[in-house]
Amino acid sequence: MLKKLVCVLLCLAVLIVTMGGFEVAHAQTDFSIIRVLLSTTSATSYNLTVDGNYSLNGTALARGTYTAKIESSNLRLYQGSTRLASVTPAT
């Protein structure tokens, strides 16, 4: 008798918890901004291949190879020898 009571109470508790007032979380639907965390232990530059539709400060990036470099504590993006952007990384 005690086993049945424990089983019924346990089932009732599981039912109450699963049907409780939980809110449904919705995923973000705006994919216009993509943030990427780049991490390296010792490299000061990294080559990136852009193959898709990307923009930087509203200007479209052409498909090709870009280089991200750390210079003077700033992260800089180059296409060949042309510097496209320079930012101070957030800590």
In this prediction, residue 54 carries a pLDDT of 84
- DSSP-derived letter for residue 89 is P
Cα distances (angstroms) measured from residue 41 to each of 44, 45, 91: 9, 11, 16
Percentage of the chain exceeding pLDDT 90: 12
pLDDT (tens digit per residue) in 2-27: 888 888 888 777 777 776 666 666 77
In this prediction, residue 22 carries a pLDDT of 62
- Nearest Cα to 87, choosing from 79, 75, 71? 75
Which one has a higher pLDDT value, 53 or 21?
Answer: 53
The phi-psi region of residue 16 (left if phi > 0; otherwise alpha if psi is between -120 and 50; otherwise beta) is alpha
| Angle made by CA atoms 9, 11, 15, in degrees to the nearest 5 | 115
Q: What pTM, to 2 d.p., does this model score?
A: 0.55
pLDDT for 81 beyond 80: yes
Mean pLDDT of 61-86: 89
3-state DSSP assignment of residue 87: strand
